[in-house]
Structure 1
Amino acid sequence: MGFLDIDNTTKSYGSVEVLHKVDISIEEGEFLVLVGPSGCGKSTLLNMIAGLEEITSGEIRIKDNVMNGVHPSKRNIAMVFQSYALYPNMTVGQNITFGLEMHGVAKPEREKAMQDVARLLQIEQLLDRKPGQLSGGQRQRVAMGRALVRNPDVFLFDEPLSNLDAKLRVDMRTEIKKLHQSLGTTIVYVTHDQIEALTLSTRIAVMNGGYVQQLGTPQEIYDKPENIFVATFMGSPAMNVVPAVVRVDGGAPQAEIVLYDGSKARLPFSQPNLTAWDGRDILLGIRPEAITDHDSADRKSGNIASLSNRIVVTEPAGSDMFVSMQLGGKDVIARMRSDADVRAGQDFEFAVNMEKAIAFDPETEARIQL
């Protein structure tokens, strides 16, 4: 049993079920990120935890207390919204302490809590300003301060950085992570940005179509995706997924892939149990960083395979060079060092780390469990 338990929880609007039997147990101090595309149900689930949406079936418990039917004000949670939701006619200080005032907290105590939070978020100089005088990043800090000052059991963040520009989003992401590390608070955070999910969380729930597709640590989600949706949604650039056929040669399974010119290449798997799939179609998943030049290949890997193929496009990206080629009729991206000597139209010998390769069932799109 966790600090926050979402137990077999569903949500329906009329006859339409939009969340399907969600089961997540969150320990005290965890940073859980709910990530997925628009319409996947992540914000609905967050609103159910907050009490802003009713639960159709199942239970939500905080510290073993059932929250079904409990008014939001009685749940001891704090929510930070995408829109900041600050009162424009109040100063920053008044915005931060308004909730405490409504709960009858004495003024000296409110003032002390405000100063502590302002110092933590480095917004002491903003306390007398109005929200209209603040930048987007400053407003987000104030919204966080309003949540922090209440010392709640659980913090809920609903896409709090989506209105910020790219650089500020990265800066605020770092601030939120530092805040979690220093306070050890329990956080449930909603985003559609998989980079945010991977960098902020202690665990991730990847959602799609109202279902939790996979729940795990960032490393588990990235290295061992349960299905093709998770594999291609998490990671930038996305995992390459190409059709292949398993061929067993001398007892060792290999992935047979069609190259740009119609010829075929074979790459040896590290998973011997794939011999049961001899002659069968699979979908082969390989992350871009597992395809590179031989000088940059992972020295710790025991299975680096050579693949000769033609480069279609090169894309310099600062610290990296992304190289596109055709495999199995699909565009495949390789990640190389920025000074790699490659060009479009060149025949090149790639190094493929087959220890990182994943085989998916083309019918179910699930990872083939070995």
Structure 2
Amino acid sequence: MGFLDIDNTTKSYGAVEVLHKVDISVVEGEFLVLVGPSGCGKSTLLNMIAGLEEITSGEIRIKDRVMNGVHPSKRNIAMVFQSYALYPNMSVAQNITFGLEMHGTPKAERDKALKEVAALLQIDHLLDRKPGQLSGGQRQRVAMGRALVRNPDVFLFDEPLSNLDAKLRVDMRTEIKKLHQTLKTTVVYVTHDQIEAMTLSTRIAVMFDGYVQQLGTPKEIYDTPENVFVATFMGSPAMNVIPVRVAVEGGVPQAIITDSEGQEVSLAIPQPNLAAWDGRNILLGIRPEALTDPKGADTDSRHIVAMHNRVGVTEPAGADTFVTMTLGGKDVIARMRADAHVAAGEMFEFAVNMEKAVAFDPKTEARIKP
């Protein structure tokens, strides 16, 4: 039993079920991120936790108290919205303490809480300003301050950084992580940005089409995705998913793949369970960083395989060079060192870390587990 339990919960609009039997247990102090594309159900689930949407079936419990039918104001949760939702006619100080005032908190307590939160968020100098006089990042800090000042059981964030520019989004992401590490609060955070999900969370629920596709730590989600959707949604650039044929040679499963010239290449896969797929097709998942130049390969791996292939396009990106080539009839991306000597059109020796390869069933697209 967790601090926040989402137990077999569904949501329907008429005959259409949009959330299907969601089961998530969040421990106290955890930072859970709900991530997925638009329309996957993540904001609907957040609104159900907040009480803004009714639950069709199942239960949501906070501190073992059933929340079904409980008014949002009685749930002791605080929500930070994408739009900030600040009162334009109130000062920053008034915006932060308004909720406390509505709950009858004495002024001395309100002032003390305001002082502590303003110092924590470094907005002491903004308390007399109106929202219209603030930048986007400052408004977001005020919205967070309004949530923090209430000391709720659970903080809910609904895509709070999506209105900010790229640099400010990175800065605010760091600030939110620092706050969580300082306060040890319980957070449920919705985003469509998988980088936000990976960097902020202690656990991630990847959602698609109303289902939780996978629930796990960022490392589990990244290294052992449950299916092709999770594999290609999480990671930038996305995991390469390549059709291959399995052939067992000398007792070792090999991935037989066509190169840019249409010739077959054999890559040994250190997964003995794939021997059962001998002569059959699978989908082979390889992250771009596991497909690199020999000097950039993981020296700790015992399964680096050399492969010659023709380079299609090179894209210098500062710390990395991204190389696109053709494998299995598909465009595949390799991530190399910034100073890797590689040119478009040339034959190049790639190093493939097959220890990091993931196999998927081509019919179900589920991971083939050891």
Q: Could you list the per-position Cα deviations for residues 74-96 of structure 1 after superposition, in whole angstroms to 9, with x for gaps in the alignment?
A: 00000000000000000000000
What SS is found at the alignment partner of 1:170? helix
Deviation, 1:261, is 1.1
What SS is found at the alignment partner of 2:178? helix
What SS is found at the alignment partner of 2:162? coil
- Structure-2 residue corresponding to 1:67: 67
Q: Could you list the per-position Cα deviations for residues 301-339 of structure 1 after superposition, in whole angstroms to 9, with x for gaps in the alignment?
A: 010001100000000001000000000010000000111
Deviation, 1:166, is 0.2
Q: Could you list the per-position Cα deviations for residues 249-282 of structure 1 after superposition, in whole angstroms to 9, with x for gaps in the alignment?
A: 0110010001111100010001111101000000
Q: Distance in 1 between matches of 2:42 and 2:273?
A: 36
- Structure-1 residue corresponding to 2:187: 187
Deviation, 1:369, is 1.0
TM-score normalised to structure 2 length: 1.00
What does 1:212-291 align with in structure 2 at a 5 Å threshold?
A: 212-291=212-291
Q: Could you list the per-position Cα deviations for residues 13-48 of structure 1 after superposition, in whole angstroms to 9, with x for gaps in the alignment?
A: 000000000000000000000000000000000000
- Structure-2 residue corresponding to 1:130: 130
Q: Distance in 2 between matches of 1:8 and 1:293?
A: 47
Q: Distance in 1 between matches of 2:122 and 2:196?
A: 22
Q: Distance in 2 between matches of 1:73 and 1:362?
A: 48
User: In the alignment, is residue 142 of structure 1 matched against residue 132 of structure 2?
Assistant: no
- Structure-1 residue corresponding to 2:6: 6
What does 1:328-367 align with in structure 2 at a 5 Å threshold?
A: 328-367=328-367
Q: Distance in 1 between matches of 2:126 and 2:34?
A: 32
What SS is found at the alignment partner of 1:348? strand
What does 1:320-335 align with in structure 2 at a 5 Å threshold?
A: 320-335=320-335
Structure 1 stretches of 4+ moved >6 Å: none
User: In the alignment, is residue 167 of structure 1 matched against residue 170 of structure 2?
Assistant: no
Q: Distance in 2 between matches of 1:247 and 1:259?
A: 17
- Structure-1 residue corresponding to 2:155: 155
- Structure-2 residue corresponding to 1:27: 27
Q: Distance in 2 between matches of 1:97 and 1:111?
A: 8
What SS is found at the alignment partner of 2:285? strand
Q: Distance in 2 between matches of 1:361 and 1:236?
A: 23
Q: Distance in 2 between matches of 1:323 and 1:260?
A: 13
- Equivalent position amino acid for 1:311 in 2: V
- Equivalent position amino acid for 2:22 in 1: V
What SS is found at the alignment partner of 1:195? helix
Q: Distance in 2 between matches of 1:134 and 1:307?
A: 55
Q: Distance in 2 between matches of 1:359 and 1:57?
A: 36
- Structure-2 residue corresponding to 1:102: 102
Q: Could you list the per-position Cα deviations for residues 169-207 of structure 1 after superposition, in whole angstroms to 9, with x for gaps in the alignment?
A: 000000000000000000000000000000000000000
Q: Distance in 1 between matches of 2:273 and 2:32?
A: 34
What SS is found at the alignment partner of 1:225? coil
Q: Distance in 1 between matches of 2:118 and 2:307?
A: 56
- Structure-2 residue corresponding to 1:81: 81
Q: Could you list the per-position Cα deviations for residues 80-135 of structure 1 after superposition, in whole angstroms to 9, with x for gaps in the alignment?
A: 00000000000000000000000000111101100100000000000000000000
**Over the residues paired in the alignment, what is the CA RMSD in angstroms?**
0.3
Q: Distance in 2 between matches of 1:191 and 1:295?
A: 36
Q: Distance in 1 between matches of 2:351 and 2:243?
A: 19
Q: Could you list the per-position Cα deviations for residues 56-80 of structure 1 after superposition, in whole angstroms to 9, with x for gaps in the alignment?
A: 0000000000000000000000000
- Structure-1 residue corresponding to 2:211: 211
What SS is found at the alignment partner of 1:273? helix
- Equivalent position amino acid for 1:296 in 2: G
- Structure-1 residue corresponding to 2:91: 91
- Equivalent position amino acid for 1:265 in 2: V
Q: Distance in 2 between matches of 1:154 and 1:296?
A: 43
TM-score normalised to structure 1 length: 1.00
Gap regions ≥5 residues in structure 2: none
- Equivalent position amino acid for 2:204 in 1: I
What SS is found at the alignment partner of 1:255? strand
Q: Distance in 2 between matches of 1:23 and 1:5?
A: 8
- Structure-2 residue corresponding to 1:116: 116
Gap regions ≥5 residues in structure 1: none
Q: Could you list the per-position Cα deviations for residues 194-232 of structure 1 after superposition, in whole angstroms to 9, with x for gaps in the alignment?
A: 000000000000000000000000000000000000000
What SS is found at the alignment partner of 2:53? coil
What SS is found at the alignment partner of 2:275? helix
- Structure-2 residue corresponding to 1:202: 202
Q: Could you list the per-position Cα deviations for residues 130-176 of structure 1 after superposition, in whole angstroms to 9, with x for gaps in the alignment?
A: 00000000000000000000000000000000000000000000000
